């Protein structure tokens, strides 16, 4: 019997899944595994809300695979180091011919996969791995001289030239022959794995399952994308797709998103702007692959390693808890805690406030975001933080510092978003709400924690010194 094994990781879906598809094409019998690594998740700062999202999606995946007669088996080890030995055991006991999995690109994941490949070689089990998370495989988007792009716009131009409007999508495989396997001592049930407790409110907000993800995508492309260009920066409007949690955990593929953006709507400026966002995602993943040191908490621009970031635990905590005294920043930080998600405009504003006005190390903010985002994803989070802190590739010039009050007036003109997340300010007028004065600031709401012009000048002086070196 040709027994194929699919190892699911950040690709929790049956449609357009290259590893699953090829396993089913090659085998008479197919089994699937998922290996939980709770200690490693902590080390990688995976958010509870994201881990719970995995649990709920694994349940959906288990059901979807069962319809194909493929059993999904669960295992739990602490860290990546234990995985090769576990996979060896599984392959030997179940007489696996070939292991299939989709690539992951951060350094630790690449090391884990290399160790698994070495184990497969040792026990003469074949393996095949596939590019899945990208529109275009690594090293294929290059400048004329063959080097990686360092700037987004020419990267996007080159990528668009290579991309068809309709990319190949792997069909959901047909039903397989059902098989019964001996239960291994190492197996856990999904329920035996220790999962974090998450409020039902958040779970409702982010329903699990690839069917849900796909209908969210189609709905967005049919109804919302047309106004994306005008609405995407206004946090009180649901003007963006909110597909990021589904993309980050592979509940939907980026190819499905790309195709839908051509298929379900008339191409116009808004559609192109959204496609560009998918390409920002692509860009940061290519940066992570081409400059792997960014996975190791290093700035993309080595010179910026010399910045002497301030250290102030109290200020960091005020920012984390949404108690800075700047209503838009506080609303955004509270949105992160309440929803496990934050609007893109606000991610930029809050990140810039931390790294510029407070001059606190961007890595502290990157970590806090990762620990709380349901869509936490190393390449995009690191890219977004390094963009905001002016330490990254194609990042914002250090002297272009968003003023949180001006941003508030511009992108939340009637204070609708602030009123929702900072209810103690709800009674203030549209004019007052962006920056309460001593007179109208309610008791309990903090004074602004920094004088914006002092913070701005401090950041400018710090970065200017560096630029002169
Ligand atoms: C400081 C900071 C941290 C961020 N951290 C993350 C993160 O951990 N995970 C994450 O997925 N995104 C991150 N982003 C990017 C962006 O904020 C989110 O992808 C976006 O808000 C998700 O909402 P949406 O799905 O409605 O996006 P849409 O506007 O509908 O965009 C569609 C998809 O494109 C991708 N995308 C959009 N904008 C960006 C961008 N600037 N960079 C990379 N990909 C993008 C996402 O996959 C998104 O789902 C970060 C941005 C900043 C400034």
* Of the candidates 142, 136, 145, 139, the residue with the CA atom closest to the CA atom of residue 158: 142
Q: Are residues 322 and 443 in the same domain?
A: yes
**pLDDT at residue 101 tops 90:** yes
What total of structural domains would you count in the chain? Answer: 3
Q: Cβ contacts of residue 287 below 8 Å, gap of 6+?
A: 148, 294, 300, 379, 383, 393
CA of 405 relative to ligand 1 center, distance in Å:
23
Nearest atom in ligand 1 to 365's CA: 1
- Residue 245 CA: nearest ligand 1 atom is 11
Give the pLDDT score at 466: 87
List the alpha helices (DSSP H) in 322-451.
327-339, 344-352, 362-372, 378-388, 404-411, 416-421
256 C-alpha vs ligand 1 centroid, how far in Å? 17
Residue 7's DSSP bridge partners are 33
Residues 347, 276 share a domain:
no
Q: Which atom of ligand 1 is nearest to the CA of 284?
A: 43
Pick from 43-52, 261-270, 281-290: least confident: 261-270
Domain boundary among 102, 131, 160: 131
Bridge partners, 363 (sequence order): none
pLDDT in tens, 390-432: 999 999 999 999 999 999 999 999 999 999 999 999 999 999 9
Across 80-108, average pLDDT: 97
Catalytic residue among 88, 187, 277, 424: 277
Alpha-carbon span 450 to 440, nearest angstrom: 19
Same domain, 339 and 260: no
The answer, yes or no, to whether any atom of ligand 1 lies below 6 A from the CB of 386, is no
From 319, 368, 385, 387, the catalytic residue: 385
| Smallest CA separation from ligand 1 atom 37, residue | 277
278 lies in some domain: yes
What pLDDT sits at residue 250? 98
Compute the Cα dihedral for 8, 11, 15, 16 and give only its sign.
negative
Pick from 258, 290, 322: which residue ends a domain?
A: 290
Paired with 247 in beta bridges are none
> DSSP labels for 241-276?
---HHHHHTTSS-HHHHHHHHHHSS---HHHHHHHH
Per-residue pLDDT tens over the stretch 324-338: 999 999 999 999 999
Ligand 1 atom at minimum distance from 254 CA: 47
The average pLDDT across 285-302 equals: 95
Helix (H, G, I), strand (E, B) or coil at 182: coil
Give me the sheet containing 98-102, strands edge to edge.
126-130, 98-102, 3-8, 29-36, 72-76, 187-188
CATH number of the structural domain spanning residue 111: 3.40.50.620
For the Cβ of 348 lying below 6 angstroms from any atom of ligand 1, the answer is yes
Say yes or no: 381 and 460 in one domain. yes
Answer whether 378 contacts ligand 1 (Cβ < 6 A): no
- Do residue 139 and residue 124 come from a single domain? no
The answer as to whether 155 is a domain residue is yes
Please give the Cα distance from 167 to 457 (Å, whole number).
Answer: 48
Burial class (CB in 10 A: 0-12, 13-18, 19+), 164: exposed
Q: Are residues 224 and 274 in the same domain?
A: yes
* 27 pLDDT higher than 80: no
Confidence of residue 162 (pLDDT cuts 50, 70, 90): very high
The SS3 assignment for 99 reads strand
Does residue 307 share a domain with residue 267?
no
Query: Active-site residue 344, yes or no?
Result: yes
Does the pLDDT value for residue 384 go beyond 80?
A: yes
Which pLDDT belongs to residue 467? 79
pLDDT band (50, 70, 90) for residue 265: confident
Ligand 1 in contact with 357 (CB < 6 A)?
Answer: no
Examine the domain organization and report whether 137 and 106 are in the same domain: no
In a domain, 66, yes or no: yes
Distance 245 CA to ligand 1 centre (A): 9
Share of the chain above pLDDT 90, in %: 95
Q: Are residues 276 and 143 in the same domain?
A: yes
Based on the domain organization, do 403 and 440 belong to the same domain? yes
Please indicate whether residue 277, judged by its CB atom, sits closer than 6 Å to ligand 1: yes
293-298: average pLDDT: 93
269: CATH: 1.25.40.80
H helix or E strand, kind and range, residue 320: helix 313-321
Q: Note down the domain range covering 367.
A: 302-468
Q: Whose CA is nearest to atom 23 of ligand 1?
A: 242
Q: Is residue 44 part of a domain?
A: yes
* 87 neighbors 77 (Cβ within 8 angstroms): no
The strand pair at 3-8 and 29-36 is best described as parallel
CB 362 within 8 A of CB 386: yes
Q: Give tens-digit pLDDT for 200-209.
A: 999 999 999 9
Q: Which of 264-268, 321-325, 451-455 has the lowest mean pLDDT?
A: 264-268
Per-residue tokens: 142? 């290059």
Q: Judge whether 84 lies within some domain.
A: yes
For residue 239, what pLDDT is reported? Answer: 96
* pLDDT attached to residue 333: 98
Same domain, 144 and 281: yes
User: 327 near 432, Cβ under 8 Å?
Assistant: no
Chain centroid to Cα 455, Å, comes to: 30
Whether the predicted pLDDT of 323 surpasses 90:
yes
- Is 173 contained in some domain? no
Residue 462 Cα, ligand 1 centroid: separation in angstroms? 29
Could you tell me if 445 and 394 lie in one domain? yes
**Average pLDDT, stretch 304-324?**
97
- Exposed/middle/buried for 417, CB within 10 Å: 0-12, 13-18, 19+? buried
* 290, 322, 351 - which closes a domain: 290
- Residue 415: the pLDDT is 98
Active site (annotated) includes residue 63 = no
Model confidence at 1: pLDDT above 70: no
DSSP-assigned beta bridge partners for residue 6: 32, 100
Q: Is residue 17 part of a domain?
A: yes
Rounded CA-CA distance 263/241 in Å is 16
From 41, 362, 368, 387, the catalytic residue: 362
**100 CB within 6 A, ligand 1:** no
Residue 450, in any domain of the structure: yes
Count of CB atoms within 10 A of residue 218's CB? 15
- CATH at residue 407: 1.10.579.10
Residue 341 annotated among the catalytic residues of the structure: no
């Amino acid at each position: 019997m040709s027994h194929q094994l699919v190892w699911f990781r950040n690709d929790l879906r049956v449609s357009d899944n290259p590893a699953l598809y090829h396993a089913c094409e090659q085998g008479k019998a197919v089994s699937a595994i998922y290996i939980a690594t709770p200690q490693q998740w902590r080390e990688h700062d995976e958010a509870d809300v994201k881990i719970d999202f995995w649990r709920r999606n694994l349940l959906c995946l288990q059901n979807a695979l069962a319809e194909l007669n493929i059993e999904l088996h669960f295992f739990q080890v602490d860290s990546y180091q234990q995985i090769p030995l576990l996979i060896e055991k599984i392959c030997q006991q179940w007489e696996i011919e070939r292991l299939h999995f989709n690539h992951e690109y951060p350094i630790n994941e690449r090391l884990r996969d290399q160790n698994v490949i070495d184990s497969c070689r040792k026990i003469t089990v074949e393996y095949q791995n596939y590019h899945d998370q990208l529109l275009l495989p690594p090293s294929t988007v290059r400048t004329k001289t063959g080097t990686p792009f360092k700037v987004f716009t020419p990267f996007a131009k080159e990528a668009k030239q290579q991309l068809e409007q309709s990319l190949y999508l792997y069909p959901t495989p047909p039903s397989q022959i059902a098989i019964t396997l001996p239960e291994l001592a190492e197996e856990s049930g999904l329920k035996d794995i220790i999962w974090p407790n998450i409020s039902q409110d958040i779970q409702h907000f982010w329903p699990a399952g690839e069917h849900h993800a796909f209908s969210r995508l189609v709905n967005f492309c049919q109804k919302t994308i047309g106004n994306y260009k005008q609405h995407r920066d206004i946090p009180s409007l649901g003007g963006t797709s909110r597909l990021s949690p589904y993309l980050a955990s592979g509940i939907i593929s980026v190819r499905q998103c790309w195709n839908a953006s051509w298929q379900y709507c008339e191409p116009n400026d808004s559609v192109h702007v959204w496609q560009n966002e998918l390409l920002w995602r692509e860009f940061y993943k290519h940066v992570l692959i081409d400059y792997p040191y960014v996975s190791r908490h290093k700035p993309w621009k080595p010179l910026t390693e010399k910045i002497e970031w301030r250290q102030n635990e109290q200020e960091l905590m005020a920012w984390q808890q949404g108690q800075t005294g700047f209503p838009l920043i506080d609303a955004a930080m509270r949105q992160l805690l309440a929803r496990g998600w934050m609007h893109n405009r606000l991610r930029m504003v809050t990140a810039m406030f931390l790294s510029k006005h407070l001059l606190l190390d961007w890595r502290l903010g990157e970590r806090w975001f990762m620990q709380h985002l349901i869509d936490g994803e190393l390449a995009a989070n690191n890219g977004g933080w390094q963009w905001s802190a002016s330490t990254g590739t194609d990042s914002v010039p250090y002297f272009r510092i968003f003023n949180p009050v001006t941003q508030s007036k511009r992108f939340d003109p009637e204070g609708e978003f602030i009123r929702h997340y900072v209810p103690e300010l709800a009674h203030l007028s549209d004019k007052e709400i962006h920056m309460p004065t001593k007179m109208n600031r309610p008791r309990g709401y903090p004074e602004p924690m920094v004088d914006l012009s002092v913070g701005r000048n401090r950041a400018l002086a710090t970065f200017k010194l560096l630029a002169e070196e």
